[in-house]
Structure 1
């Protein structure tokens, strides 16, 4: 009996992660913050100590934009207060957890406005999308927390 692998069986964890994240961004990008639990997060967590070029390249190709990656380490009790996202961001906890807060955009910027402050706990396995111009804070770190920060830069034509 011949057995053919389906695309789901041959798709890598990184491919599934990129696909799920791109789907979330296709709905929320430039509209509102979003929390997603993408499939394949294990591949990202396993590669978190590396530069993750496969992740940034694959996500950039699907979105048609440049994607860069950096990391943020927050010690116990650490805070990263009132950062305004200069470009669309995806915050991915790869170790530990922290509190997250996303605040409304000022009215009149021609974009959707978040009516209430969004407060949540960011854990490994979750991805928080923060649109450009929104203000975010990371806090309530009870154990050391490391986040991969994916910056989604607009296409330059």
Structure 2
């Protein structure tokens, strides 16, 4: 896998963000959850109110898979309990923060310890397919950009 600039037309901040995220995923993909602080988050946060299709397109090109993007809003006191990731996910807070926990599904993966954290703007949380994740402890409204990594059809 070669990590050149993500796209000829991509802004430098976005290119750095995509590169850093792809490097993290190349190490942890299918193995364990991971928290990364990608360079260039300002480019993602600046576009949080609108679509940033180049983020999904550039990341998908580097990883060799389709990547889609959506937004999830969590109100104060909101929580998401025990969802199992059907495909690899990257959770990016673009406003506010929330608590998070990622752990292997019962009987699923080799022994991996649960990851419990506070997820803030500037961080990206990778949740591998089949892992259980929960979001909670929302003290101010939180908006997450969710990148969904779809495996390639071979």
Q: TM-score, normalised by structure 1?
A: 0.89
Q: Deviations over 1:62-88 (max 9, x none)?
A: 000000001110000000111100000
Partner of 1:137: 134
Partner of 2:124: 127
Shift of 1:11: 6.2
Is the CA contact (8 Å cut-off) linking 2:97 and 2:118 kept in structure 1? yes
> CA 1:148/1:11 → structure 2, altered by over 3 Å: closer, same or farther?
closer
Unaligned stretches of 5+ residues in structure 1: 1-6
Partner of 1:73: 73
Partner of 1:151: 148
Max radius of gyration: which structure? 1
Aligned CA RMSD, in angstroms, stands at: 1.5
> CA 1:19/1:141 → structure 2, altered by over 3 Å: closer, same or farther?
same
Q: Deviations over 1:127-155 (max 9, x none)?
A: 00000000000000000000000000000
Is the CA contact (8 Å cut-off) linking 1:13 and 1:43 kept in structure 2? yes
Unaligned stretches of 5+ residues in structure 2: none
Partner of 2:29: 29
Q: Deviations over 1:15-60 (max 9, x none)?
A: 0000000000000000000000000000000011122100000000
Shift of 1:104: 1.9
